[in-house]
Chain A
């Protein structure tokens, strides 16, 4: 079982990102689950979304999760919420920030000794898509860190997932995914 927790703000696309990832993985024959904690979240409020992936059908519906990966797609959440909650020794973190990994860990001691990768998904999204929607670039970074799929396959799949959007936006998302893949450290 592969488990992922997303830290996001409502409106940044974590749910869409989690569902998009689930959609891509599902086409490879694996079983998937994607869900989120909502409550009465307003746009901009901190929220979490989740992915589960397994070879067997997923019957676990508990919301509790000890994630293998933590994705943080809003830079401030590292400091305003505990992104390390319910972590395992092997939990990997991919965090959106303009800081270097060293600077980030220094600014948030909870990340010390953990496997932390950084990428500036907000800037990438602004420069490609033209809006600070950091969900698809985070998936590009995840492909690099996890080595889950070849980029060609992943981008082709994401084009299908995003097919309802105008072609210009789809192309910008592909650019964002590639840039995050190349830039994550």
Chain B
């Protein structure tokens, strides 16, 4: 079946959702099965429009829930096709059971997760609760900070996920509304460039290859279960990062845009830095620059690949700093916070003397203002001057009522 190509301007003003939908169109996916949910709805809505307008050759399957959406994706991926979908929040939570099936069955699927808070109380705005819910699911997780990243990382996600040495599903995260509904200039690839980068889908162990029968979704008890899981972990720990690096390098050659597993901004000579995810990385970069004019040597470390966790890259990025704060946009519910814990794990057993504190912020889309960040960098500098933490290890930023701090 013939389909049409689309002429794009070099720079299109797109929000993160439309950027992701366009990247999906350019990758020519065989099966998209979707159950739309705010704020990711426009991704699959936009994709469906492309299909009805004859810009896509593949199938679009409407299903009755997010659980069914991912189940259909799993079936299609096992059958031997390029597969993707999108979701958010409650829909992501409903998908969780099947996320583990997808990764355990070693099926390359790309899932655009437009990050949104988890109820209760019900909230449609952006935080990282759903992203954090997926972090032990065995998927690769990429994080976009702006619409451009959401576009680019989709191509990279297909490339890495479908590599025959990887064969693991991948999520591309973007901040609900702050990226998904914020229109900015996006540098585009032509349809040929985009498809050329991901290439034709090469099936492996596909169920539709009747000459080579395979079984998917088997039961293994104590005799083999651990070996399967250990092998999956081994591949995430050893094989995935080099493939991501290669994909980043190839993408830079194609587009001129450079991505890094850990993004370091102004950290070379910095004393203080924040470690964060999503749109906050960019706002913090702007504030860090302004802090330098005030004599505070500030930097920002953005995590581009959340899973597998870039243990050594983070260690390297942070070791010479004096005081850092991790910014968790998800309620830790009785713990220090994911980023605090992971970063502390990287720094333990090293010689670094860097002071570490954790902040919880932005739940349910609460604004992280530049003023908040100015205050935070100032506090980190006070830690440097005092040679110790001047605050409790865990603080809440931007919540009303009495200042909350713990630990």
Give me the interface of A with B, judged by CB distance under 8 Å.
Answer: 18-19, 22-23, 26, 31-36, 38-40, 58-64
Contacts and interface: CB of A to CB of B under 8 A. Distances in A.
B236 interface: no
A39 B182 contact: no
A61 B280 CA distance: 7
Contact of B182 (A34, A40, A64): A34
Contacts of B179: 61
Given A26-B13, A60-B286, A33 B184 contact: yes
B282 A60 contact: yes
Contact of A61 (B11, B183, B279): B279
B11 A26 contact: yes
B370 A33 contact: no
B177 interface: yes
Contacts of A61: 146, 175, 178-179, 182, 279-280, 282-283, 368
B369 A33 contact: no
B167 interface: no
Contact of A64 (B11, B279, B367): B367
Instruction: Give 8 nearest A-B pairs by CB, closest first.
Output: A61-B279, A59-B282, A35-B182, A34-B183, A63-B367, A23-B13, A64-B369, A62-B369
A31 B11 CA distance: 10
B125 interface: yes
B184 A58 contact: yes
Contacts of A32: 13, 183-185
Interface residues of B, number: 26
B177 A59 contact: no
A140 to B, nearest CB: 20
A58 B285 CA distance: 11
Interface in B356-378: 367-371
Contacts of B286: 59-60
Interface of B: 11, 13, 15, 124-125, 146, 175, 177-179, 181-185, 279-280, 282-283, 285-286, 367-371
Contacts of A63: 178, 367, 369
14 contacts: A23-B183, A31-B184, A32-B185, A33-B182, A33-B184, A38-B177, A38-B181, A58-B184, A59-B282, A60-B282, A60-B286, A61-B175, A61-B178, A61-B280
B125 A39 contact: yes
Contacts of A19: 13, 15, 183
A125 to B, nearest CB: 23
From A23, A35, A58, residue with most partner B Cβ within 10 Å: A35
A26 B15 CA distance: 13
B128 to A, nearest CB: 14
A64 B283 CA distance: 12
Nearest to B289: A59
A87 to B, nearest CB: 17
A34 B180 CA distance: 11
A150 B182 CA distance: 27
A91 B135 CA distance: 45
B124 to A, nearest CB: 6
Contacts of B280: 61
Contacts of A40: 124
B398 to A, nearest CB: 11
Nearest to B147: A33
B181 A22 contact: no
A52 to B, nearest CB: 9
B181 A35 contact: yes
A35 B368 CA distance: 15
A35 B185 contact: no
A18 B125 CA distance: 20
A67 to B, nearest CB: 15
B285 A59 contact: yes
Contacts of B282: 59-61
A22 B369 CA distance: 22
